[in-house]
Amino acid sequence: MQSPSPVEHADDVCSLPLARRLAAMLERDPATLREGSALPRGWHVMLFNAPTRQSQLRADGAGYLGFVLPDLGLPRLMMGGRQIQFVSDIALGAHVRRESRQSAPQIKQGRSGRFALVQIEHRIFTGQSDQPAVIECVDYVLREEAPAQPVVAVAPAAPAAAPQGAPEVGPAASRTLVPDERMLFRYSAITDNPHRIHYDLAYATRVEGYPALVVNGSIPTMFLLELFRSVAQREPASLTCRNLAPMYCGHALALQAWADRDAWRLLARDDGGQITFEARAQ
């Protein structure tokens, strides 16, 4: 029987100024957030971003994630998805602590080569409570080094008639988002994310082999949660989401929400109609 992984601990403060910066990026009035009010659910991504010494950044720029990923000879890191339970709210200004546990890596073989899946479970507590406010499982993908690539710009695709895999009926709510370099910079600054695929064009194209800067998967998550709040008129009790395909800087994303019984299906699709991100909020 495999022994359980050690628990890694972190502490933070739910910062009002940081939450206001995220609100501004999302086109919300920052002044509506006040000390003691509830942090909008899903915004906990701004917490527990441990400072990493410059000399200790990974070659891809990624900093310390609050836990040590295994060295499997797979240098490229990306997030695959997350499953979140919102048990209670986190107050702005509150002291918070986190317990993290790491699963054993699963080595797999895909069309693009060998990769590994590693799941991290986080439990976030507020104050002296022994009951978690948020329980989150994050799936990370470790991939092989990509061959050097020439710089090839990605051109907007011809729009598809309908998003592949989307419901046949029209969405209850939708909006268009065009993530640009400024948005990628602001979100990386708020979450202290130095991963180079989000700001270093030469690295993203010539080393990682992408055709453009890559949009952080949490950016459409934040905007889709805003769309959910506008139509559901409530905060989510849970959120499950998956990154299905890379999203690129400067290219429009169609964000859409459908009611699905007691839950909502949330989608992002690129300018060719391909679903790049999907989530389910309850």
| Shared domain check, 21 and 126 | yes
CA dihedral angle for residue 75, residue 79, residue 85, residue 90, rounded to 10 degrees: 80
| Shared domain check, 274 and 245 | yes
Q: What pLDDT is recorded for position 152?
A: 47
Beta-carbon contacts of 79 under 8 Å, excluding residues fewer than 6 positions away, are 138, 139, 140, 141, 217, 218, 243
| Shared domain check, 2 and 48 | yes
| Shared domain check, 68 and 21 | yes
Q: What pLDDT is recorded for position 108?
A: 81
**pTM to 2 decimal places:** 0.87
Asked which of 36-45, 142-151, 225-234, 237-246 is least confident by mean pLDDT, the reply is 142-151
Q: Could you tell me which of 89, 82, 191, 102 has the C-alpha nearest to residue 134?
A: 89
Confidence of residue 66 (pLDDT cuts 50, 70, 90): low
> Would the pLDDT of 57 be above 50?
yes
**Residue 209 main-chain phi, psi, to 5 deg:** 85, 15
Higher pLDDT, 114 or 265: 265
Q: What is the pLDDT of residues 213-257, one digit of tens each?
A: 999 999 999 999 999 999 999 999 999 999 999 999 999 999 999
Angle at 279 between CA 17 and CA 169, to 5 degrees: 125
For position 78, which CATH number holds? 3.10.129.10
Rounded to whole angstroms, the Cα distance separating 37 from 16 reads 9
| Shared domain check, 256 and 179 | yes
Q: What pLDDT is recorded for position 165?
A: 54
| Shared domain check, 245 and 138 | no
| Shared domain check, 211 and 116 | no
Residue in the structure block whose two tokens are 């029987």: 1
| Shared domain check, 174 and 158 | yes
Print burial letters for 47-56: b (CB count within 10 Å at least 16), e (below 16). Answer: bbbeebeeee
> Would the pLDDT of 105 be above 90?
no
For the chain, the domain total comes to: 2
Domain span holding position 74: 1-145
Q: Could you tell me which of 163, 188, 124, 161 has the C-alpha nearest to residue 245?
A: 163
